[in-house]
Amino acid sequence: MPEGIENRIKNLVDILNYHNQKYYIEDSPEITDFQYDKLYEELKELEGIRPDLVMFDSPTQRVGGKPLEGFLKVEHEIQMQSLSDVFDKDDVHIFDKKVKKLVGDDTEYVVEKKIDGLSVSLEYKDGNFIRGSTRGDGFIGEDVTLNLKTIKSVPLVLKMEIPYIEVRGEVFMQKSDFLKLNESQEEAELPLFANPRNAAAGSLRQLDSKITAARKLDIFVFNVQKIEGVKLITHYESLKYLEKLGFKVCPGYKICKTSDEIITEINTIGEIRGELGFEIDGAVVKVNSIRRRILLGSTSKTPKWAIAYKYPAEQKQTVIKKIKISVGRTGVLTPNAEFDPVKIAGSTVSRATLHNMDFINEKGIKIGDTVIIQKAGDIIPEVLEVDLTKRTGTEKQFVMPEFCPECGADVRRENGESAYRCTNINCPAQLFRSIVHFASRDAMNIDGLGPAIIDILLKNNFIKGIADLYYLKEHCDELITIKGMGKISVDNLILSIENSKSNNIDRLIFGFGIRNIGLKASQILAETFRSIDNIIGASSEQFELLPEFGQIMANNVELFFKQNSIIETVNRLRIAGVNLVSHGNKLLIDERFIDKIFVLTGTLSKYSREEAGNIIKNHGGNVTGSVSGKTDFVLAGKDAGSKLEKARELGIRVISESEFEELIK
């Protein structure tokens, strides 16, 4: 064991936490990301050697832990109240008069930005973070401690040790991180978040804290709910004290003495809100004196010593000049409105997404219409409504194209979906994503063919479809001359591509990226039909009979393999020597589980999941990942979770490991 490992771990934790404070809370980094990452990796390595020395506030403890079955309830000792909203400047004058009449004309206020996020409570004992919870109904919230620990701006240990403090904060997502999150959602064909607040709320309430950790949430702490060992006189003083403790406090809070000063500050915040990196939906006005707050008291829901001024959404009128189609990386055709430029919420915009035809029909949008534009959450331009009074009769109805504007392939809208899609996996608009998926580990596993290399190959016109990968060896001399390639890299890439030719067809099927067809479904297709040609010749009715397959999945497989472009791709793969038949060793001992569907849950003592699954398959059964009406048996091990509960709800037979062994004797 190296000498001084304990001291080095403590030293690294101190250094990294200092730089986390500078980066995430003070917004003044002192080292580069590369330097930080080197220190972080060293700490991880040392903690791996001595896990008994992992410290409570180690940055490595912010990555998230084991998924929870559900959130525990937390009863708030101090009610987490909401604020009374006002929408008119006159209401500010009325609020000021009421307050001063009750507690004195010399009353001061603090005006702050109202962060649009999710309100939480953070509790610390002896300076250590012990619990975090959501607001809930104000009286009872949910314990989200593990998720809050993943937020880098939540201090795990305070800079000063105090017996106890409970603070209130607002969890939010930076605008830039919100846009990146929606980009990744779109690429994964997942629903988009409407605004940063929804994204933050959805991320904080994940049962798997690793998902929360990946979402880059942030927090501003804005109030002391309860404190022991320290006496605070004013709210302004408490905000300064929170900063000293290491909390991130929203900058720019200001003391005002009159309602006119309050309104001036509200207007100032309103003018800059479009330029902020985070979303606000108003300004909060609070009585500064803690003693006077107590005298003013509260209603059952709201304090009488504070109000929230809500800014009206800024809206502008403009004229739609044209509607253009963009094709995304998943093949979805998205209509976009292009209109006369207008300045709104701090920036000039000239286009907005119209999402899909359902949206266009619902709003009644036509080319040439005068429309009202606003920014959803002050970020994304959106068409709010059509001003029908401006219609002249010259407006034109928009119709979605029958053929992809990028490649000319058929466009199809599936039943139950709002999206129109290009059916060609070799469509230039979606080709990059298709090839990244095709080369990925679970698909054809082509080592060395990462996004950067794929981008180079596409930009230099070496590939225009997945089949072209298997003809790259004809261009070795040209590839070597390209910057970022080189002979060794090219040789290794070609070798990896050649090796992938012998993969079983389940990898190829998954690599095609057929909608709704994942790894398990690809394996079922490979085991059942045994060759790509057999799959091409099969019908949707045959596919629908397969375990885990429904009508949509069956239709997707049939339609995919009936495309001329896919037939051509398969033929080029065949000529190149890519394996198109199943060579899986399916050892069928007997057929006692024929047509029976098993689901495995929990931890088995004698078998791994894979071993148990193979035993079931060797006796003619099938293993699926989710419990449904088609399930025959649920094999439950230790710590079985929600699958076990669902099985009991549906009346499906649940068997133990010993019962399973009896069945296979």
Which residues are catalytic, by number? Answer: 114
CA 218/CA 303 separation, integer angstroms: 26
CA 222/CA 240 separation, integer angstroms: 10
Q: Measure the CA angle with vertex 298, ends 238 and 228; round to 5°.
A: 35
**Whether the Cβ atoms of residue 493 and residue 449 lie closer than 8 Å to each other:** yes
| Strand segments (E) across 303-424 | 306-310, 315-327, 332-344, 347-353, 370-376, 380-386, 411-413, 420-422
Helix (H, G, I), strand (E, B) or coil at 635: strand
Residue 51, amino acid: P
- Closest Cα partner for 423 from 556, 323, 536, 538? 556
Helix (H) or strand (E) holding 133, with range, is strand 128-134
**Whether the Cβ atoms of residue 516 and residue 552 lie closer than 8 Å to each other:** yes
Q: What is the 3-state secondary structure (H, E, C) of 560-612?
A: HHCCHHHHHHHHHHHHHCCCCECCCCCCCCCCCCCCCEEEEECECCCCCHHHH
- CA 243 from chain centre, in angstroms, equals 30
**Whether the Cβ atoms of residue 556 and residue 517 lie closer than 8 Å to each other:** yes
Q: What is the dihedral of CA 629, 560, 326, 313, to 10 degrees?
A: 0
**In sequence order, what DSSP letters do the residues of 461-489 get, joined into one string?**
TS-SSGGGGGGGGGGHHHHHTSTT--HHH
Other Cβ atoms less than 10 A from the Cβ of 474: the count is 10
- Closest Cα partner for 194 from 174, 213, 179? 179
Distances in whole angstroms, Cα of residue 143 to Cα of each of 129, 266, 279, 616: 13, 34, 25, 40
